Amino acid sequence: MMDIALFRLPDGRAWIGQGPFESFSEAPEGGGVFYINDFDLSDPQPWKKPAQLMEIQADTLAQGAGWNGAQLPHIQWAKPATEWFKMAFRRIRREVLSKRLEKMVPVLTERGTITEGDPVRLLERVMTAPPNTWGYGWIQQGKGYLGATPELLFRAKGNRVETMALAGTAKPGDQTAFLTDVKEIEEHEIVVRYLTERLGTLGVVEREPRGLCQAAKLLHFQSNLSVTLDKPIEPGALVREVHPTPAVGCLPREEHWLARLREYREQLEVPGFFGAPFGFIEPGESLACHMVVAIRGLSWKGHEAQLPSGCGIVGGSAFDHEWRELRLKREAVVSMLGL
């Protein structure tokens, strides 16, 4: 099967690209190109232009993807162990309480075995994922990742850039308590402050009041921000400017702490796609660039599947609460993918 990239907007419009893909270091003119990288932005040529691009709908996906007889997968999940994560959690919390660090997002990965079928078929579920999410997928021979994320890194068109702070999590039933939860608000406002400062160097930033986002069985705080750029910036350069935000990274976003974050991610064997930017520039007249944060998804290599989830740790975080939040996030993915 050819390499495949997929991107779906919250309004349902979607595109599938079939390989071979040509790689570029800067977004090529004319759009119709995907941005695919890992969390560390290690690919210097992240813009991937497919040999063939098709705008698709949920019911025309199979035409674009060509299943070749692939069946829906069955995955047997193993319960994740607590030890390593607990150690990372304690160390991060200690750094936060000593006021050296404000926030960091460690990631726990549940692992599974694909006992039958092919995960490529899960693209169908990505196409019909709940509203308020962006679907993404990148599939190569024998490996890939896909998901539906509620988190926009930015949307850019001309000199106008829109973004959101999305952080702070609860179950929909816990809404009343959530709205006044000091720890969740702090976790969220750290991200707002970060984005305001970062984008403030590019133009005048406007912030909407903190609101709620309900996406796929979870509730988050969401604050929309926008900026009118003083001068144009290539979207790949804008990624480097803002990624990783403290919604999936750390604050301060200094090399010292980023190195520590990478260390935890390696120790916990977090798949590289998780928390990475994933994007698409619309073809034709529009040329709108959509860049999202690849969370709420799974990855696989051969018969091994990985299901990561992360949680922001601040001074007020308690292990049992965060452990539950990690589980809720993974359950939301499993349910969205119908696994």
Which residue, 31 or 168, is less far from ligand ISJ as judged by CB? 168
Q: How far is the CB of 165 from ligand ISJ (least distance, A)?
A: 8
Q: How far is the CB of 58 from ligand ISJ (least distance, A)?
A: 23
Q: How far is the CB of 239 from ligand ISJ (least distance, A)?
A: 16
Which residue, 105 or 195, is less far from ligand ISJ as judged by CB? 105
Which residue, 27 or 311, is less far from ligand ISJ as judged by CB? 311
Beta-carbon contacts of 207 under 8 Å, excluding residues fewer than 6 positions away, are 192, 196, 223, 224, 225
Q: How far is the CB of 245 from ligand ISJ (least distance, A)?
A: 8
Which residue, 15 or 138, is less far from ligand ISJ as judged by CB? 138
Q: Taking a C-beta distance cutoff of 8 angstroms, is the pair 35, 280 a contact?
A: yes
Reduced 3-state DSSP string for the chain: CCCEEEEECCCCCEEEEEEEEEEECCCCCCCCEEEECCCCCCCCCCEEEEEEEEEECHHHHHHHHCCCCCCCCEEEEECCCCHHHHHHHHHHHHHHHCCCCCEECCEEEEEEEEEECCHHHHHHHHHCCCCCCEEEEEEECCEEEEEEECCEEEEEECCEEEEEEEEEEECHHHHHHHHCCHHHHHHHHHHHHHHHHHHHCCEEEEECCCEEEEECCEEEEEEEEEEEECCCCCHHHHHHHHCCCCCCCEECCCHHHHHHHHHHHHHCCCCCCCCCEEEEECCCCCCCEEEEECCCEEEEECCEEEEEEECCECCCCCHHHHHHHHHHHHHHHHHHCCC
Which residue, 53 or 268, is less far from ligand ISJ as judged by CB? 268
Q: How far is the CB of 311 from ligand ISJ (least distance, A)?
A: 5
Beta-carbon contacts of 109 under 8 Å, excluding residues fewer than 6 positions away, are 80, 268, 269, 270, 271, 274, 306, 307, 308
Which residue, 105 or 239, is less far from ligand ISJ as judged by CB? 105
Q: How far is the CB of 2 from ligand ISJ (least distance, A)?
A: 30
Beta-carbon contacts of 114 under 8 Å, excluding residues fewer than 6 positions away, are 73, 74, 75, 300, 303, 304, 305
Which residue, 30 or 211, is less far from ligand ISJ as judged by CB? 211
Which residue, 105 or 120, is less far from ligand ISJ as judged by CB? 105
Q: Residues in the site for ligand ISJ, rule: CB under 6 A? A: 105, 151, 166-169, 187, 220, 247-248, 295-296, 309-312, 329
Q: How far is the CB of 45 from ligand ISJ (least distance, A)?
A: 27
Residue nearest ligand ISJ, Cβ-based? 310
Which residue, 167 or 242, is less far from ligand ISJ as judged by CB? 167
Tokens representing residue 252 in the block: 């301060």
